[in-house]
Structure 1
């Protein structure tokens, strides 16, 4: 079978004075590019589209892509290229609809990063366009493809822990700096941008939570803002805004009842430091046993080294479940690229269980909207 020919929107070249650890604006370079390069028999990068042709040409040279790779400066051109099968949109969520729409209208397969749209209305519009085009879609909630999440869902489906009756998660967002941030990421503190800690950091985990356990049929929520101003620094460490207003929630409590009648709760706290060094602790309790998932300091979707899954059935000893044995990407790709590679592998196989489609990602957006309204916040 011929490789899937990929066009990437948002493979931004790096200026020589910017550190390579910064991922704001460089997500495609940090994750999509290395992930795709591990599967040359399955995927071929044939085009890059940035804000202008010069930027795309620079990226092609900087990242060592073949000279035959085409450079484009607007989404219409990459959408019109007959050699592109799959368009990947990896930019600020505020541009997702504008950049993905031409590809969908030309009936290209499309992979859009999470969040899918900047709010529920844009997400619904993207789903409508995809349905009308009849194309395959993917959304970058890559934790669904994390071997740890896949294993947890497999254990529950097998009935090993019996009927799930309770699930609770405790989350710390200390991996995200408390009252400082990087330039070009100011949208993260504007609730109407659709790209905040609520939609991104919490949204990634919520997608996995409901993917494994099912949706909430009843939901209650409290969302509060602790930090109201943030200092913005550029990549050289220079202060560019000492007090950017922040109107996004950073303390979150969500609880309710799931589709299988289990009770569930998720607590997200904002602190400057984690006393236990754990960013995510998730317990899934069934009538026959429990699953515990721990993720050390990091973001849920990144597949952080040191994450663990423990299982206890009845009176048996606690088992540390090996979910990475034989994994094809764990040894060759660093986090967070490995989970993105798992997504691409599953997408090539037509696996719509492991890879979120526009339609399944819409359900997570709808739940986020329900949580906002339950907490008395405005929908976007």
Structure 2
């Protein structure tokens, strides 16, 4: 869950809000077994043991985009959970950015909602629904169009992937040790 689902979400989040200065995480296994589901979508009667956390939460301090200041001081709180049924009206993905001038809220009901690069969540600005370009072609297609621009394009790079991997490792380390991890030095803080 951390490497795939959360990794994809964090790629989008860090693209929008910036890099993390530090993280403090907790995790747990709420569902120690998982039912195997067949191609027909029905349980087969078999179960497997879940050995990785299915609920992960963390807080972080964002880095500043201004090189003169090491941190922006902005706080981010994130919670991921797995194992809940997708029922009508249940939001599987909620992302809210609340700032001095207002709020942006992004929501989606489907189970794959966390993959914002392939889903079309609803976007609200100060409570008003905003129409945005939708569809897999629009989302992925725009990324390829940016890549085609070369150095002027805005698209994920290998450096972004390395930063994301460091963030995922820091979340895991913090959850395992119960300590805050400073990403500028990759060391534990008491």
Q: Find out whether 1:366 has 2:166 as its counterpart.
A: yes
Cα separation, partners in 2 of 1:352 and 1:366, compared to 1, 3 Å = farther
Q: Find out whether 1:250 has 2:59 as its counterpart.
A: no
Q: Please give the secondary structure, in 2, of the residue aligned with 1:304.
A: coil
Match of 1:262 among 49, 64, 74: 74
Q: Find out whether 1:311 has 2:125 as its counterpart.
A: yes
Cα separation, partners in 2 of 1:236 and 1:360, compared to 1, 3 Å = same
Matched residues in 2 for 1:300 and 1:236: separation? 23
Matched residues in 1 for 2:102 and 2:172: separation? 33
Whose RCO is larger (CA < 8 A, sep 6+)? Answer: 2
Q: Please give the secondary structure, in 2, of the residue aligned with 1:199.
A: helix
2:9 corresponds to: 205
1:279 corresponds to: 92
Aligned pairs (5 A) from 1:62-101: none
Cα separation, partners in 2 of 1:273 and 1:213, compared to 1, 3 Å = same
Matched residues in 2 for 1:322 and 1:351: separation? 29
Return 5+ residue gaps in structure 1 as ranges: 1-196, 313-317, 325-329
- Structure ranking higher in strand proportion: 2
1:130 corresponds to: none
Cα separation, partners in 2 of 1:236 and 1:347, compared to 1, 3 Å = same
Aligned residues of 1:219 and 1:256 also touching (Cα < 8 A): yes
Match of 1:346 among 116, 138, 146: 146
Cα separation, partners in 2 of 1:279 and 1:239, compared to 1, 3 Å = closer
Matched residues in 2 for 1:323 and 1:341: separation? 14
Cα separation, partners in 2 of 1:200 and 1:233, compared to 1, 3 Å = same
| TM-score (norm. length: structure 2) | 0.74
The CA RMSD over aligned residues, in Å, is 2.7
2:23 corresponds to: 219
Q: Please give the secondary structure, in 2, of the residue aligned with 1:284.
A: strand
Aligned residues of 2:59 and 2:76 also touching (Cα < 8 A): yes
Cα separation, partners in 2 of 1:277 and 1:231, compared to 1, 3 Å = closer
Larger radius of gyration: 1
Q: Please give the secondary structure, in 2, of the residue aligned with 1:283.
A: strand
**CA shift for structure 1 position 300:** 2.7
Q: Please give the secondary structure, in 1, of the residue aligned with 2:89.
A: coil
**CA shift for structure 1 position 253:** 0.8
**CA shift for structure 1 position 269:** 2.2
Return 5+ residue gaps in structure 2 as ranges: 64-71, 178-190
Matched residues in 2 for 1:215 and 1:299: separation? 22
| TM-score (norm. length: structure 1) | 0.39
Aligned residues of 1:220 and 1:371 also touching (Cα < 8 A): yes
Cα separation, partners in 2 of 1:300 and 1:239, compared to 1, 3 Å = closer
Cα separation, partners in 2 of 1:320 and 1:231, compared to 1, 3 Å = closer
